[in-house]
Chain A
């Protein structure tokens, strides 16, 4: 077994010697069974033999701190896996944390490994719940959690993308209800086949969601429906990537995953979660029914309100015409009344005016008579006055003339040739005219000489002239 290398003074061992020594040391040191926690990095299940050789790791910040191989023998694996499924609804699989009881074995051929005798599923369940909570927390922090649910839902979800499996019972149920619905509603749909449970489902659904996203403006909603698959392998719906893809999807996502376990994160963030595909179908049909009811209501409302509107307008016209006739009658009546009022006012004022004029006239008449009488008296007295004056003047005038006449008479008396003749003077005439100029006499002219008590006729014998003027 051991041999000496004398030339170099070294001790050389066979590999099996070392292995045997390790095996002895390990089995002596680690005799018991230990509870250990680790993550299954790889399951390495061999269905043929039923044995399982998981690779276990412990990571810290994505770095491997420790790694070890484990063995679960077929009998143990069957029992452990059943128990695990029952409690967690998930089979043993990669990526989950487990708490297990193991012994440490060393095989010279296979090396160090942990032989797992038992796994505590509640530990994993707790870890899963913790992960789910973390997923929810992350979605909320990223403000994604309520995004899909706050999208407006189309009035008529008519064109639908379906993530499901053609052969699944859920898809079949959905189809049966939608296609043969009693209301005759028609819709378009497109199936995007995908795994719906298990580890591969996350990627599979993500790929189809990406595909649908390319046609997002064509579709009204996305359905994720599954049925008859039991409650196993649904932790994919708690996966952060899938949940965030659903939450941030541009059109509403409706889930009908059909299970009886707690609501998964995808169902929480989806626009609506309807448990079963049948419920999803009824949900969509109800939207159609609501739309149809709205149309029916609209028809009814339009009919009723148009009728009312027309009736209202008719009433309005009737009222207006009634009002028109009433107000025109009233207006005519008013005008007539006004006219009457004015005419009586006019009559009254004419009458008043007449009276006034009459009074004025009477007043004027009186005044005129008064003035006339007055004037007349004035003239009368003037005339009397003048009469008196005239009388006086006449008397005066006559007496003066008498006096003048008397004087003239007296003078005349004085001038009377008789008187002169009495005093001895005579008047000599020729041819009937007084003779004053001796010059005009001729001898033999007959002269007539008038004396106081007779006349003498004589003939001129001689003419003696004196110096006095001839005229």
Chain B
């Protein structure tokens, strides 16, 4: 799963992040994995922050294309 994938949901990213936090918290990872995990966490955090503060063009475009029924 890559953060570049625009299909990735915030929930998925958040739960992956949560898992990493838990793994590090429980010291269930080796030092070898640590830097990799921290790097991945940084990616996810960046992705989540982006989700919080930026609108996505493709979503906006889909929304603009929906023509709701006129007020009846």
Contacts and interface: CB of A to CB of B under 8 A. Distances in A.
Interface of A: 154-156, 158-159, 165, 184-195, 200, 203-204, 207-208, 211, 215, 218, 288, 291-292, 294-295, 297-299, 301-302, 305-306, 308-310, 312-313
A310 B55 CA distance: 38
Given A211-B69, A306-B34, 5 more contacts: A193-B68, A207-B72, A292-B49, A301-B21, A302-B38
A159 B17 contact: no
12 contacts: A155-B11, A190-B66, A195-B72, A203-B72, A292-B52, A294-B14, A295-B52, A297-B21, A298-B20, A301-B21, A302-B24, A305-B21
B25 A298 contact: no
Nearest to A163: B68
Given A204-B71, A306-B34, A158 B20 contact: no
A293 to B, nearest CB: 11
Contact of A306 (B38, B48, B60, B70): B38
Contacts of B18: 294, 298
Which of A189, A194, A302, A313 has most chain B Cβ within 10 Å?
A302
Contacts of B55: 186-188
A233 to B, nearest CB: 16
A190 B54 CA distance: 17
Interface size on B, as a range, is 20 to 34
A186 B54 contact: yes
B1 interface: no
Nearest to B22: A301
Chain A to chain B: the 6 pairs with minimum beta-carbon distance, closest first: A156-B10, A193-B71, A192-B68, A305-B24, A186-B55, A190-B63
Given A186-B54, A288-B52, A291-B14, A195 B34 contact: no
A299 B45 contact: yes
A207 B21 CA distance: 45
Interface of B: 10-11, 14, 17-18, 20-21, 24-25, 27, 29, 31, 34, 38, 41, 45, 48-49, 51-56, 59-60, 62-63, 66, 68-72
Contacts of B24: 301-302, 305-306, 309
Contacts of A215: 62, 66
A291 B52 contact: yes
A309 B24 CA distance: 8
B63 to A, nearest CB: 5
A154 B68 contact: no
A207 B69 contact: yes
B38 to A, nearest CB: 6
B50 to A, nearest CB: 9
B68 A208 contact: yes
Contact of B31 (A154, A155, A313): A313
A295 B29 CA distance: 20
Given A188-B63, A193-B68, A207-B69, A309 B31 contact: yes
B25 A305 contact: yes
Contacts of A291: 10, 14, 48, 52
B20 A302 contact: yes
